[in-house]
């Protein structure tokens, strides 16, 4: 018997209307666990690197994680993997909610969709009965509205539905996939659904999901719950309230937004407003938020209330659900001081299905171009005076791909190059062709330098975590933080604790401190824990993201072993995560990712140190077992059982014969 | 002088729907706790608690499985509370012919909350334990009773058989059982 996974994928070919239930290979589970890991393996095996992301040949995988649907709190993530139209690299955006557990109960670990339907369709998975159904009547409908209509049509209120809005249908490069309170929004995966004519997937499942060592597994899950309760009573001391607890930043429950509004940049990642958060603002925002949040809500089997129900009279559904930082992205992008505007536009944008990080940045970019005469009244006929109104105007143009909206629909990087006339200069906050969180700071942070440069999940919040954002101000707070810091990997305890104790002291400040080997270890630890979560389907909010999370490298192997019956220890789990990490990198290298793409925007920090930065990158590559071009060496790949990947990279000239490719060779290739 | 009334301890779960976050941890743990062996599988469709969960209408309502009933209700009324419209069925605990709720998904046999009675007894039913937002809380209260009632304990088996009788009729059920018993005996020889 297979434990925690169903052992079956659902394969759907929309071109031919073919649906198959396919048994999966248990050896892949041992090598990659599930979720992101097995998704990457499928993408590597099946999608040739020259594939156009918006062509029928691209596939899109909707996956649960290995622990998805079990009693492990927060094991509810849906991991969507495909090729991104925006970055042209592998996209692996994910979301919480209820969809992936329901898929497991229906009897599938993944839905793999290829081809292109002749019209707009949706997929209905009712346990073993799967249908491709006509969705022409849902054309242009909002994402939540679509879900409502499908539930009514199927007469199944318990069906869990993910859907795209108009932005996805129109293949906006940053179109999201929306599901109840959650969004999978990075990399334009909604556009890939749209390119296939797939409006939504509804699922209902009533089958058992089996556990290998039931009593032992539940005992571990119960400990997680108890720890969550403990942390409610014992927030981390000495950090902003928004970072003191578990979950994603509790922005629906907490009103105090001083940290985000004063640390992050406003407009087109342009202005830091250190004095924004006044008593008066706090009072006004508190009033708006109390009025706007009807109920705090959770994802499947997780007590954290990171989301909220928000009334919205303009929407056909009259309500929508919000989470986290999207409350601020539009407000800050539009330089609007009004939180109400944020709640209003985010609701519309979510129904259209656009990424709440990227969309406001594209709009802020357009506003800057207009103010600098690069876009004119001809491009923006009837462009309103007020920034807030301009954002509504731009949202409408973008999702309809109307006029200049058709260009802006491709994101800042591509739009800047299409518009020309110096627009490229205003593209100052993208990495790997993708908008990043608007942070512009003073002194280079060497840990974040590597994270921003080498991250392939494209979003910094998806690879960072567990480390305070600044040194604790007092010795007492430092001691308090490290005294029960059990989350550190074996063998690194003393080093990491010493880092916390010394950080901020005389001579112990960035950028030339700490030693590079420790920087590499801290970076790898942060990112690796995310990759583990993404294979298991756990939410980073209880695991890799917050300070002192509930899940960590010591209890995860125990949890996985009891759940699955596999015998996995700390080293084994680390190796699996490394295997996935290197396979993801190989997929991207094969699609053209190069060292030159691995750099934060020039103005990310005021104080830069080019030589030192180059050294940081080189040392990190070396630490990862990658050559000077950032390509995993033959030894690294073979050591992870990825010899076939090494062979392919060598065949394509990405990796040179003996496993070390020189910079000159790849430089030549780029000129070609 | 009036005779002192008899009392008994009632176990009950208090439901504060305003606190419900819709996570359905109660459903998951209920299904797992009642699996054989305990926690060996999860399938919320087997749960004896169901969260009526309709975020767009802000409806978050945990309901426990109560008695089985062979008959459907004649009318289906709606209630409006605090501006939200609820279907009457959303408050109903019965396993009944009008819906597939509170029935074993494979056999269709009715399910009923047993307050997780087990040996040794739990401090609280499992759903209450996992609901750390306190939408579900457990209490034991002493109530006066008019007279000692003969408590008829309908065990799981009886409950199931009763449902089968209602569905197929006593006669058909007896015949089937007799035939199965005979077949089993034959197989054993």
| DSSP structure string for B15-61 | E-GGG-----HHHHHHHHHTSSSTTSEE-GGG-SEEEEEEGGGTEEE
Q: What is the pLDDT of residues B2-18, one digit of tens each?
A: 566 788 988 899 999 99
Contact state of B21 with A303 under an 8 Å Cβ cutoff = yes
Contact state of B42 with A208 under an 8 Å Cβ cutoff = yes
Average pLDDT, chain A: 95
CA distance B69 to chain A (A): 22
Residue range(s) in chain A whose domain bears CATH number 1.10.599: 441-671
Residue range(s) in chain A whose domain bears CATH number 1.10.569.10: 249-435
Domain limits for position B51: 9-144
Contact A540, A462 (CB under 8 A): yes
Q: Could you tell me which residues come within 8 angstroms of residue A250 by beta carbon, excluding any fewer than 6 positions away?
A: A242, A305, A306
Find the closest chain A residue to B126 by CA distance: A222
Radius of gyration of chain A, Cα coordinates, nearest whole angstrom: 24
Phi, psi angles (nearest 5°) of residue A274: -65, -20
Contact state of A319 with B58 under an 8 Å Cβ cutoff = yes
Q: Which of B18, B22, B41 sits opposite A211 (nearest CB)?
A: B41
Q: What is the pLDDT of residues A389-429, one digit of tens each?
A: 999 999 999 999 999 999 999 999 999 999 999 999 999 99
Which positions in chain B touch A219 (Cβ < 8 Å)? none
Q: Are B38 and B103 members of one domain?
A: yes
Tokens representing A400 are 């309809």
The length of chain A in residues reads 672
Supply the pLDDT for residue A474: 96
The arithmetic mean of pLDDT across residues A150-170, rounded, is 97
Q: What is the pLDDT of residues A544-563, one digit of tens each?
A: 999 999 999 999 999 999 99
B150 assigned to some structural domain: no
Of A592, A594, A588, give the one whose Cα is nearest residue A629: A594
B149 assigned to some structural domain: no
Which positions in chain A touch B29 (Cβ < 8 Å)? 71
Find the closest chain A residue to B26 by CA distance: A301
Q: What is the pLDDT of residues A351-379, one digit of tens each?
A: 999 999 999 999 999 999 999 999 999 99
Find the closest chain B residue to A2 by CA distance: B41
The arithmetic mean of pLDDT across residues B155-169, rounded, is 82
Contact B133, A305 (CB under 8 A): yes
Which positions in chain B touch A180 (Cβ < 8 Å)? 55
Q: Are B181 and B112 members of one domain?
A: no
Q: What is the pLDDT of residues A490-546, one digit of tens each?
A: 999 999 999 999 999 999 999 999 999 999 999 999 999 999 999 999 999 999 999
The arithmetic mean of pLDDT across residues A188-217, rounded, is 98
Contact A481, A470 (CB under 8 A): no
Of A575, A553, A554, A556, give the one whose Cα is nearest residue A564: A556
- Cα separation, B180 vs A327, whole angstroms: 63
pLDDT band of residue B152 (cuts 50, 70, 90) is low
- Cα separation, A134 vs A112, whole angstroms: 19
Question: Does the structure show a pLDDT above 80 at B188?
Answer: no
Which of B44, B83, B116, B133 should one mutate to test binding to chain A, selecting the residue with the greatest count of A CBs within 10 A? B44
Q: Are B25 and B79 members of one domain?
A: yes
Question: Does the structure show a pLDDT above 80 at A617?
Answer: yes
A 39-98 → B contacts, CB under 8 A? 69-71, 73, 98
Work out the number of other CB atoms within 10 angstroms of the CB of residue A546: 23
Q: Are B115 and B170 members of one domain?
A: no
- Compute the half-sphere exposure of residue A306: CA atoms within 13 Å on the CB side of its CA: 28
Which of B18, B25, B83 should one mutate to test binding to chain A, selecting the residue with the greatest count of A CBs within 10 A? B25
- Cα separation, A171 vs A191, whole angstroms: 4
Q: Are B98 and B33 members of one domain?
A: yes
Question: Does the structure show a pLDDT above 60 at A147?
Answer: yes
Of A196, A203, A197, give the one whose Cα is nearest residue A180: A203
Question: Does the structure show a pLDDT above 70 at B42?
Answer: yes
Q: Are B67 and B87 members of one domain?
A: yes
The arithmetic mean of pLDDT across residues A204-208, rounded, is 97
B1 assigned to some structural domain: no
Supply the pLDDT for residue A663: 45
Q: Which of B23, B46, B132 sits opposite A301 (nearest CB)?
A: B23
Which positions in chain B touch A303 (Cβ < 8 Å)? 21, 23, 25, 130-133
Q: Is A273 helix (H, G, I), strand (E, B) or coil?
A: coil
Q: Are B130 and B159 members of one domain?
A: no
Which positions in chain A touch B40 (Cβ < 8 Å)? 210-211, 214
For helices A339-352 and A326-333, give the axis angle rounded to 10 degrees. Answer: 110
- Cα separation, A97 vs A157, whole angstroms: 16
Supply the pLDDT for residue A324: 80
pLDDT band of residue A672 (cuts 50, 70, 90) is very low
Q: Is B144 helix (H, G, I), strand (E, B) or coil?
A: strand
Contact state of A301 with B57 under an 8 Å Cβ cutoff = no
B183 CA to centre of own chain: 34
Rounded to two decimals, the ipTM of the complex is 0.95
Asked if the C-beta of B39 comes within 8 angstroms of chain A's C-beta atoms, the answer is: yes
Find the closest chain A residue to B31 by CA distance: A208
pLDDT band of residue A319 (cuts 50, 70, 90) is very high
Q: Are B107 and B173 members of one domain?
A: no
Of A477, A429, A478, A431, give the one whose Cα is nearest residue A450: A431
Count of structural domains within chain B: 2
Which option is the CATH number for A441-671: 3.40.50, 1.10.10, 1.10.599, 3.30.1340?
1.10.599
**Domain boundaries A249-435, corresponding CATH code:** 1.10.569.10
Which positions in chain A touch B25 (Cβ < 8 Å)? 73, 301-303
A 142-171 → B contacts, CB under 8 A? 144, 148, 157
B94 assigned to some structural domain: yes
Which positions in chain B touch A319 (Cβ < 8 Å)? 55-58
Q: Are B128 and B72 members of one domain?
A: yes
B 56-115 → A contacts, CB under 8 A? 56-58, 60, 105
Contact A366, A394 (CB under 8 A): yes
The arithmetic mean of pLDDT across residues A210-219, rounded, is 98
Contact state of A215 with B56 under an 8 Å Cβ cutoff = no
Which positions in chain A touch B42 (Cβ < 8 Å)? 69-71, 208-209, 211
- Cα separation, A348 vs A142, whole angstroms: 9
Contact state of B38 with A295 under an 8 Å Cβ cutoff = no
Supply the pLDDT for residue B1: 53
Q: Are B134 and B166 members of one domain?
A: no
The CATH homologous superfamily of the domain defined by A8-204: Aldehyde ferredoxin oxidoreductase, N-terminal domain (3.60.9.10)
Instruction: Identify the weakest region by mean pLDDT among A38-52, A234-248, B175-189.
Output: B175-189
Sign of the alpha-carbon torsion through A167, A168, A170, A173 = positive
Q: Are B14 and B65 members of one domain?
A: yes
pLDDT band of residue B155 (cuts 50, 70, 90) is confident
Find the closest chain B residue to A205 by CA distance: B45
B62 assigned to some structural domain: yes
Instruction: Identify the weakest region by mean pLDDT among A19-28, A320-329, B177-186.
Output: B177-186
Segment (H or E) for B139: strand B136-145
B4 assigned to some structural domain: no
A 567-596 → B contacts, CB under 8 A? none
CA distance B151 to chain A (A): 33
pLDDT band of residue A666 (cuts 50, 70, 90) is very low
Q: Are B89 and B170 members of one domain?
A: no
Find the closest chain B residue to A215 by CA distance: B39
Contact A49, A88 (CB under 8 A): no
Supply the pLDDT for residue A608: 96
């Amino acid at each position: 018997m297979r434990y925690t996974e169903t052992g079956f994928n659902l394969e759907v070919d929309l071109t031919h209307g073919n649906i198959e239930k396919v048994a999966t290979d248990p050896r892949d589970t041992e090598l990659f666990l599930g979720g992101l890991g097995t998704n990457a393996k499928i993408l590597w095996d099946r999608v040739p690197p020259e594939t156009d992301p918006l062509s029928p040949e691209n596939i899109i995988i909707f996956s649960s994680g290995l622990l998805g649907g079990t009693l492990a709190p927060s094991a509810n993530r849906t991991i969507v993997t495909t090729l991104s139209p925006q970055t042209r690299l592998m996209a692996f955006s994910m979301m919480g909610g209820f969809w992936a557990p329901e898929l497991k109960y229906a009897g599938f670990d993944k839905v793999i969709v290829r081809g292109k339907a002749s019209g707009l369709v949706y997929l209905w998975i009712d346990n073993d009965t799967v249908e491709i159904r006509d969705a022409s009547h849902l054309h242009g409908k909002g994402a939540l509205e679509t879900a409502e209509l499908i539930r009514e049509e199927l007469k199944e209120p318990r069906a869990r539905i993910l859907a795209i809005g108009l932005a996805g249908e129109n293949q906006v490069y940053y179109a999201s996939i929306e599901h109840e309170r959650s969004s999978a929004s990075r990399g334009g995966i909604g556009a890939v659904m749209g390119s296939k004519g797939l409006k939504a997937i509804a699922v209902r499942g009533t089958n058992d999901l089996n556990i290998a060592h039931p009593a032992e597994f539940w005992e571990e899950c119960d400990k997680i719950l108890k720890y969550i309760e403990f942390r409610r009573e014992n927030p981390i001391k000495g950090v902003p309230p928004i970072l003191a607890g578990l979950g994603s930043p509790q922005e629906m429950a907490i009103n105090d937004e001083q940290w985000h509004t004063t640390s992050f940049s406003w407009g087109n990642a342009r202005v830091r407003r250190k004095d924004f958060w006044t008593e008066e603002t706090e009072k006004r925002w508190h009033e708006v938020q109390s009025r706007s949040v009807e109920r705090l809500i959770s994802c499947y089997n997780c007590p954290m209330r990171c989301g909220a129900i928000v009334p919205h009279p303009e929407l056909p559904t009259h309500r929508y659900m919000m989470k986290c930082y999207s409350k601020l992205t539009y407000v800050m992008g539009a330089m609007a001081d009004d939180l109400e505007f944020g709640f209003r536009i985010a609701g519309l944008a979510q129904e259209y299905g656009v990424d709440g990080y990227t969309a406001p940045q594209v709009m802020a970019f357009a506003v800057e171009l207009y103010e600098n005469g690069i876009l004119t009244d001809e491009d923006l006929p009837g462009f309103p005076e007020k920034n807030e109104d301009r954002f509504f105007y731009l949202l409408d143009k973008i999702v309809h791909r109307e006029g200049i909206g058709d260009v802006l629909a491709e994101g800042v990087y591509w739009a800047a190059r299409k518009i020309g006339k110096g627009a490229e200069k205003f593209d100052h906050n993208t990495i790997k062709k993708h908008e990043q969180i608007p942070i512009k700071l003073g002194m280079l942070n060497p840990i974040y330098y590597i994270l921003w440069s080498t991250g392939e999940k494209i979003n910094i919040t998806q690879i960072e975590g567990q480390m305070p954002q600044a040194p604790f101000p007092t010795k007492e707070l430092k001691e308090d933080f490290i005294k029960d810091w059990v989350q550190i990997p074996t063998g690194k305890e003393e080093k990491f604790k010493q880092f916390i104790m010394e950080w901020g002291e005389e001579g112990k400040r960035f950028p030339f401190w700490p030693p590079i080997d420790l920087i590499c270890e801290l970076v790898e630890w942060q990112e690796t824990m995310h990759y583990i979560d993404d294979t298991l389907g756990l939410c980073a909010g209880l695991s890799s993201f917050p300070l002192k999370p509930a899940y960590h490298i010591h209890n995860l192997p125990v949890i996985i072993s009891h759940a699955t019956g596999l015998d996995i220890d700390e080293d084994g789990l680390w190796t699996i995560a490394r295997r996935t990490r290197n396979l993801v990198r190989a997929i991207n290298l094969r699609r053209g990712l190069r060292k030159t793409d691995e750099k934060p925007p020039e103005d990310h920090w005021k104080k830069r140190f080019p030589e030192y930065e180059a050294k940081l990158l080189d040392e990190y590559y070396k630490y990862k077992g990658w050559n000077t071009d950032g390509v995993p060496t033959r030894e690294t790949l073979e050591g992870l059982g990825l010899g076939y990947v090494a062979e392919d990279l060598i065949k394509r000239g990405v990796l040179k014969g003996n496993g070390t490719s020189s910079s000159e060779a790849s430089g030549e290739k780029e000129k070609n | 002088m009036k005779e002192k009334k008899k009392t008994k301890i009632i176990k009950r779960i208090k439901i504060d729907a305003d606190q419900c976050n819709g996570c359905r941890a109660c459903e998951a743990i209920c299904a797992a706790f009642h699996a054989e062996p305990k926690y060996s599988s999860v399938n919320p469709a087997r749960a004896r608690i169901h969260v009526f969960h309709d975020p767009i209408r802000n409806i978050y309502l945990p309901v426990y499985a109560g008695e089985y009933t062979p008959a459907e209700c004649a009318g289906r009324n709606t209630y409006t509370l605090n501006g939200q419209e609820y279907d009457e069925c959303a408050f109903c605990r019965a396993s009944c012919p009008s819906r597939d709720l509170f029935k074993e998904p494979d056999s269709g046999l009715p399910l009923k909350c047993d307050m997780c009675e087990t040996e040794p007894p739990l401090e609280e039913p499992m759903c209450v334990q996992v609901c750390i937002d306190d939408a579900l809380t457990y209490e034991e209260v002493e109530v006066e009773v008019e007279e000692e009632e003969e408590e008829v304990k309908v065990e799981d088996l009886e409950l199931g058989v009763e449902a089968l009788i209602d569905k197929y009729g006593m006669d058909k059920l007896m015949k089937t059982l007799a035939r199965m018993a005979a077949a089993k005996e034959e197989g054993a020889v």
